[in-house]
Amino acid sequence: MNRITAGHNDAGERLDRYLSTVVPDSSRSDMQGRIKAGIVKVNGETVKPNYKVKEGDEIIVEERELVDSDIVPEDLDLDIIYEDSDVAVVYKPKGMVVHPSAGHTGGTLVNGLMHQLDELSGINGELRPGIVHRIDKDTSGLLMVAKNDVVHRNLVEQLVDKSVTRKYTALVHGVIPHGKGTVEAPIGRNPRERQEMAVVDDGREAVTHFNVLERFKDYTLVECILETGRTHQIRVHMQYIGYPIAGDPKYGPRKTMDVGGQLLHAGVVGFTHPVSGERLEFSAGLPDDFEAVLEEMRRVEK
């Protein structure tokens, strides 16, 4: 379920068009279907797809129910880094979508998890079993997976209280002169481009710490540590301070690397085990395409 409060810049937009830009993994036709099915409520009431959004509207968008046959287990040979009876840590490769959506029900991380794990939590609904947090399709790296609802709630609480460790490696445009820094800037929907996020005055709190790992002639390799977890946070924050991520088709410069998406890797995740209380931390090396870019830079700049 998605809860959305319309802002000043949203006023006047058709509801179906507006929702297609703010609800992840959705389209205008998908939103029209949900509105007509009565699973979208504006201030507690059903409306038509052409309803004009008003500032302050409270909008609830329920997930569209899919029949059991829509989401099937698939043998995707996922790399399960860790697994016990309560929790798992899985590696998501670049190019893989985390969970199914209407019109996209196959080849996702969830399809693979349903095949490889014997149990998954149900808090996030049938489209997102076990999914506690997400990373973008073209970001590689580690994700926590909950195998029951009690564990799921505990992991979400750890995310909320900022006790989960999430470290990313990114290659950014430009040479950062200082060794480390913190970006503390609120993130919300970009009022000029509804399919993008941006730093905006009325956005949600967002904090990213970064450390320089290596400098090249025109690029810098950095480690980014999330204190909060907003949509596209690292991509938006690095663009905001003038060092957009290389290969990023949405937030990068017009002329960036053609590497099939942003060079961003969720390499470390750490959390307290919800049952044993043990502090766990896992890491995954850079994917081959990311490592190849770095090796070529090092070779050229010797």
Beta strand 219-226 pairing with 264-272: unpaired
Using DSSP's 3-state secondary structure scheme, residue 244 falls into coil
- Do residues 280 and 273 make contact, with C-beta atoms less than 8 angstroms apart? yes
- Of 257, 255, 224, the residue nearest 238 (C-alpha): 224
Q: Give the integer Cα–Cα distance in Å for 73 and 90.
A: 16
Q: Catalytic residue among 136, 138, 149, 161, which?
A: 136
67-105: b or e for each residue (b if 16 or more CB lie within 10 Å)? eeeebeebebebeeeeeeebbbbbbbebebbbbbbbeeb
DSSP 47-61: --TTPBP-TT-EEEE
Q: What are the strands, taking DSSP E only, across 147-289?
A: 165-173, 180-184, 187-189, 197-199, 207-215, 219-226, 264-272, 279-283
136 is catalytic: yes
Active site residues: 136
